[in-house]
């Protein structure tokens, strides 16, 4: 039996995995919905809309009206691009996690967020130096589907699926990894519910960034 090469690369989601974006995202959604003439209650829970591609996120708020979804995304970005992306916080333990894991693996960001926004967030919060590259969607929605984005990432990086691991907080992260034959684990501090992650087929959930160790990553199935 031929041994496969050891895993070399960890792909990290951004929102809900490295940073807690709730304040900026919720305020930007509220701005958009108010401008659309469809304001939501002050205590509306935007958590289900954090993580999916923007068209899916707005469909949860606007229904299936394609024109209204398009307008909503533009209005959301009107605020998010200048204010909302900085209304954010790095989860406790993430800096140490990245130093620890980055000593043995190459680290890449794999996010449905537009890569321009992702880079600005990583720079602002002192996370950019940990990553070799940032992969995200285009503003027109190209590669906002995480499975397609991950396939493109693997091809661009010349990575075999068994060389990579995906770490994220939502079902989209787990399903994308499964679609590409990539090992995966969920994080328990983000926005995916335990039920959602189980339904997606996650094999392991890290409860805290301190639990994400080199040995734990190599042990993933």
- The span from the CA of 11 to the CA of 13, in Å, is 7
- The span from the CA of 185 to the CA of 25, in Å, is 24
DSSP 119-146: HHHHHHTT-GGG-SEEEEE-TT-TT-SH
Phi, psi of 110 (to 5 degrees): -130, 100
- CB-CB neighbours of 38 under 10 Å: 13
- Bridging pattern class, strands 19-20 and 183-187: unpaired
Residues belonging to the active site:
13
- Bridging pattern class, strands 205-206 and 89-90: unpaired
Tokens 């590259």 locate to: 133
Tokens 């639990």 locate to: 211
């Amino acid at each position: 039996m031929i041994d496969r090469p050891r895993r070399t690369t960890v792909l990290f989601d951004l929102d809900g995995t490295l940073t807690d974006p709730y304040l900026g995202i919720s305020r930007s959604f509220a701005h958009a919905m108010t401008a659309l003439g469809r304001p939501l209650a002050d205590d509306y829970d935007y958590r289900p809309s954090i993580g999916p591609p923007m068209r899916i996120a707005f469909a949860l708020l606007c229904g299936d009206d394609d024109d209204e979804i398009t307008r909503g995304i533009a209005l959301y970005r009107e605020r998010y691009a200048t204010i909302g992306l900085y209304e954010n916080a790095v989860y406790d333990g993430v800096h140490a996690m990245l130093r620890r894991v980055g000593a043995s693996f190459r680290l890449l960001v794999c996010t449905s967020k537009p890569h321009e926004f992702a880079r600005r967030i990583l720079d602002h919060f002192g996370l950019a130096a940990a990553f070799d590259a940032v992969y995200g969607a285009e503003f027109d929605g190209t590669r906002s589907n995480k499975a397609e984005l991950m396939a493109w990432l693997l091809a661009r990086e010349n990575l075999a699926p068994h060389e990579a691991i995906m770490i994220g907080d939502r079902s989209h992260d787990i399903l994308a990894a499964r679609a590409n034959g990539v090992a995966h684990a969920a994080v328990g501090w983000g926005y995916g519910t335990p039920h959602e992650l189980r339904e997606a087929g996650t094999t392991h959930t890290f409860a805290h960034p301190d639990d994400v160790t080199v040995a734990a990553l190599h042990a993933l199935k």
